[in-house]
Structure 1
Amino acid sequence: MSALDDKYINPLTDFGFKKLFGTEPNKILLIDFLNQILPQRHRIKDLSYSRNEQMGLNELDRKAVFDLYCIGESGERFIVEIQKAKQNYFKDRSIYYSSFPIQEQAKKGEWSYRLEPVYTVGILDFIFDDHKLEDELLHIVELKNQNCEVFYDKLKFIYIELPKFRKKEEELDTQFDKWLFVFKHLSGLQDRPKKLQDKIFERLFEAAEIAKFTPEEREAYEESLKNYRDLKNVVDTSREEGYREGLDKRNIEIAKNMKNDGEPIEKIVKYTGLSKEEISKL
């Protein structure tokens, strides 16, 4: 299916995310989204984009490349990323990336070590293996002591598990709900929902309309969408294979127990789906 079959871009693609949230004309969209998840004292009125590639302090340090990196008018640093699939050491990677906006604040000569707040915001198109509560999709992580009291409030990691968001249009109560609905459903919409008629979403739908793209933008989006779909297909296939593998192991264990209990082969076949040949080898 061509990207041009959709009316609006998919914001979870690299091109779509940066088109909507990573350009100067549309920074009002990023500001509004961030303000739904930031604490009241760190709400932002304006921000500027910084280069999204950060180098280490010396040539031996590895490069860090962010989706978006911006600085609030009061000096707060924001790393904002779309994460489309699980990866090894994802949390380690988040910590590592956050170290660059911290280190760049160092001043030459006499310096008090005072730091501006650093936020890492991850919009995740997957669910954490170790955070499976269905109603808990927003995670705000910060340094706390043994009594669960905040030890340092200038370093925060905010993760949103998008697959856990299942509200329908009529259930959208907050601005945060509306943004998650956009992330999840924008590319499948043909018209602006009634709940998304205010000015901020008017700007978003205008920026997201594929018909208004230049030929170069359309080509770039086609490629970005293809990459997104290819990755999603790999992830979905892997998940399905993992599910089947787990199911097979469970059925083999059940079959062994039934066989040890003297259950007839026909009954074991019925309850496990294994063949007579497979069961005879157990």
Structure 2
Amino acid sequence: MCKKTKEQKFIMLPSVDFCFQELMEDEEVRRGFIGAFLRIPPEEILDMELLPKKLRKKYKEEKYGILDVRVRLREGEQLNIEMQSIAYDYWQERSLFYLGKMYVDQIHEGEDYDKLKKCIHVGILDFTLFEHERYYSCFHIWEDTIRDMYSDKFEIHVLELPKLAKYEYPQTELLRWAQFFGARSREEIEVLAEKDEYIHKAYDKLEEISADEEKRLEYEERQKAIRDHRHMLASGRREGLREGLREGKHEHAVEMARKMLEDKLPIEKIAEYSGLSPEDVHRLEEQ
């Protein structure tokens, strides 16, 4: 049973990207979640290696890829696992960009293509991306008519957390993980932890990082930034930004970036949300 003292009320929400990345640092937690969406027993995932999050770029003007959690499995397959707490207009394009960068990052000039291994992108979204009812979608490269697979080297998984509150789904390991990531209370998490040993490990890790005062401060700063950003979207500022960018009004993007700098968001995230380059954001930070 998962019994905690009354003093331990505070617990981080796994849907906040800071908390998610902390959880994925734990090998057993990664093993349990990866096993669920790959549909293999976690015990069969023998070797996992955390890789650098920043992907290489060949030319100075190229855009960097900054990944949330990047993992290499025993046979060389690479996974990028991301928690996206805030709605993102071009999520499909962004996920393809990161998937492509991760794929080409495997080899250097002159090396053979046979060294390229499967790359998998997993997006856990705290917003709705598709209109259909399914909370989980998996994509490959198929021939349109006879459904022959062109290559299995690209694979994209999408979990949409808001749908869990709207529809009923058959119980699976993956559903339990989705419910864990989307949980809004300790009670929800405790119920799930009692049903799955790997989610129980994730709950234990969650308790550990929630009790860390320094991590709690970082988490609360990030949570505040997310709330503020959602408020800006709800108040129509995002539409104003779109109009401003279409009309070439750079100051709208700058205003949003300054607000995010005040909220201490990472430079890469500010560049993502505002449309400015990381260099422009750095210059704003120095002003």
TM-score higher than 0.5: yes
Native 8 Å contact 2:55 2:65 kept in 1: yes
Query: What is aligned with 1:33?
Result: 33
Tell me whether 100-109 or 136-145 shows the greater mean CA deviation: 100-109
Q: In 2, Cα distance between the equivalents of 1:41 and 1:199? A: 12
> Runs of 5+ in structure 2 lacking a partner?
1-6, 240-287
Native 8 Å contact 1:84 1:126 kept in 2: yes
CA 1:60–1:53: 2 relative to 1, 3 Å: same
Question: How many residues are treated as equivalent by the alignment?
Answer: 229
Q: In 2, Cα distance between the equivalents of 1:40 and 1:209? A: 27
Q: In 1, Cα distance between the equivalents of 2:123 and 2:17? A: 14
Decide which of 229, 233, 237 is 2:231's aligned counterpart: 233
CA 1:114–1:208: 2 relative to 1, 3 Å: same
| Residues 208-219 of structure 1: pairs in structure 2 closer than 5 A | 208-209=206-207, 213-219=211-217
Letter in 2 for 1:166: A
Identity value in percent: 23
Native 8 Å contact 2:141 2:151 kept in 1: yes
CA-to-partner distance for each residue in 1:109-157, whole Å, 9 max, x for gaps? 45243421100000111112xx3122x1211111111322221111011
TM-score computed with the length of structure 1 as normaliser: 0.71
| Residues 52-67 of structure 1: pairs in structure 2 closer than 5 A | 52-67=53-68
Q: In 1, Cα distance between the equivalents of 2:50 and 2:171? A: 30
Tell me whether 55-64 or 105-114 shows the greater mean CA deviation: 105-114
CA-to-partner distance for each residue in 1:73-119, whole Å, 9 max, x for gaps? 21111111112233332211111111222112214545243421100
Q: In 1, Cα distance between the equivalents of 2:192 and 2:172? A: 10
Q: In 2, Cα distance between the equivalents of 1:201 and 1:177? A: 12
CA-to-partner distance for each residue in 1:181-210, whole Å, 9 max, x for gaps? 11111x412475344224322221221126
Matched, 1:85 2:86: yes
Letter in 1 for 2:224: K
> Runs of 5+ in structure 1 lacking a partner?
242-282
Tell me whether 117-126 or 10-19 shows the greater mean CA deviation: 10-19
Letter in 2 for 1:14: D
Query: What is aligned with 1:254?
Result: none
Letter in 2 for 1:160: L
SS in structure 2 at match of 1:123:
strand
The CA deviation at 1:167 is: 7.8
Query: What is aligned with 2:244?
Result: none
| Residues 134-145 of structure 1: pairs in structure 2 closer than 5 A | 134=133, 136-145=134-143
Q: Which runs of 4+ in 1 moved over 6 A?
A: none
Q: In 2, Cα distance between the equivalents of 1:125 and 1:234? A: 17
CA RMSD of superposed structures (Å): 3.1
Q: In 1, Cα distance between the equivalents of 2:176 and 2:210? A: 24
SS in structure 1 at match of 2:232:
helix
TM-score computed with the length of structure 2 as normaliser: 0.70
Q: Which has the higher contact order (CA 8 A, sep 6+)?
A: 1
Q: In 1, Cα distance between the equivalents of 2:143 and 2:209? A: 52
Q: In 1, Cα distance between the equivalents of 2:188 and 2:180? A: 12
